[in-house]
Amino acid sequence: MRTGQASRDAFSVSFEFFPPKGPEMEGQLWQTVAELRDWNPEFVSVTYGAGGSTKAPTLATIRRLVEETPLVTAGHLTCVDASREEVHAVVAEYKATGVRHIVALRGDSASGVGTAYVPHPEGYTDTAELVAGLRALGDFDISVSAYPEKHPESPDMAADIETLKRKADAGAARALTQFFFENDVFERYLEKVRAAGISIPIVPGIMPIQNLTQLKRFAGRCGASVPSFLDDRFAGFDEKPEERAKVAADVAAEQMEDLQRRGIDDFHIYTMNRSGLVNAVLERLGRPKRPAQTGAAA
């Protein structure tokens, strides 16, 4: 498959990684980084586990990205289950490492997704407060999250968009969305966001499908829907991994190309620490590789 000429280099990408657990996963991560770096992403980000559960490996991963690669690197930061002092300590470590871009998130409780959120008595109440706090601590480039199908804990879409507006008003530079598969849903969401007076870029989160069954379980926990047309696209390929990977790359490339036709030119790709599908998607879109020349954290 080859998509339209207009897609070739008219868009930017960023990649999300997560800190590895164990030597094998660490090897996979750094192989993935090596294979994706020449797509010249705007930045790469590293996730931060619930309640700071991956603090040490997140910082170690970020430090190595900054020191050993030319990739602009952003660190995720959550305020759940942490005092302001603890949050500020992580920010200081990021700053010392050279990180100037922070993905600010409330985060899910360490007790699990779906449990009631209770702010730390000495911490930031929510992401908007965290963003304002980061603004007071330094000149950071701050990204936040957005939910085209609303956050699972939001009572309705209006409340969800009001939450996003508070984050934007506090100083967020952009919002990275939860993954979605129906572009009409995203377009309707974007219309509501703009109508609410939110002008920051809303960057679609793209999830190349590594495993449809696992994705459905994950999507159910985070409030994203998996439309039935994906079952049709993947039907008959359960025992055919090569054909299944081709379908997955086609699906993501087609989604990105359609979004480009709707005027979107920035994408945040959830890599799942694997390069194969990401490479295939960007190759289908005709994006040229350009080795990055300089290294610095955002």
CA 281 to chain centroid: 17
Reduce the secondary structure of 209-225 to three states and give it as a string.
CCCHHHHHHHHHHHCCC
Best CA proximity match to 163, nearest among 222, 246, 104, 205? 104
Residue 43 lies in a domain: yes
CATH of the domain at 85: 3.20.20.220
> Can you give the pLDDT at residue 220?
84
CB atoms within 10 A of CB 138: 12
Classified as helix, coil or strand, 286 is coil
> Can you give the pLDDT at residue 110?
62
Write out the H or E segment, with its range, that includes residue 56: helix 55-68
pLDDT at 289 > cutoff 60: yes
Residue 175 lies in a domain: yes
230 phi and psi angles, rounded to 5 deg: -70, -35
Q: Which residues contact 17 (CB under 8 A, 6 or more apart)?
A: 29, 32, 33, 44, 45, 46, 47, 61, 271, 273
Write out the H or E segment, with its range, that includes residue 103: strand 101-105
> Rounded to whole angstroms, how far apart are CA atoms 17 and 259?
23
> Rounded to whole angstroms, how far apart are CA atoms 283 and 280?
5
Average pLDDT of the segment spanning 271-282: 97
Write out the H or E segment, with its range, that includes residue 101: strand 101-105
Best CA proximity match to 33, nearest among 64, 59, 12, 56? 64
Residue 192 lies in a domain: yes
pLDDT band at 113 (very low <50, low <70, confident <90, very high): low
Residue with the bigger pLDDT between 295 and 210: it is: 210
> Can you give the pLDDT at residue 10?
78
Residue 295 lies in a domain: no
The pLDDT tens digits of the residues spanning 161-192 come to 999 999 999 999 999 999 999 999 999 999 99
Residue 292 lies in a domain: no
pLDDT band at 82 (very low <50, low <70, confident <90, very high): confident
How high is the mean pLDDT of the chain?
90
17 phi and psi angles, rounded to 5 deg: -120, 165
Residue 296 lies in a domain: no
Per the structure, the complete domain to which residue 190 belongs is given by: 5-284
Active-site residue numbers?
16
pLDDT at 48 > cutoff 80: yes
> Rounded to whole angstroms, how far apart are CA atoms 182 and 195?
21
The pLDDT tens digits of the residues spanning 57-73 come to 999 999 999 999 999 99
pLDDT at 297 > cutoff 60: no
Classified as helix, coil or strand, 267 is strand
Residue 265 lies in a domain: yes
Give the chain's domain count.
Answer: 1
Percent of the chain whose predicted confidence (pLDDT) is above 70: 91
pLDDT at 3 > cutoff 50: no
> Can you give the pLDDT at residue 134?
97
Classified as helix, coil or strand, 291 is coil
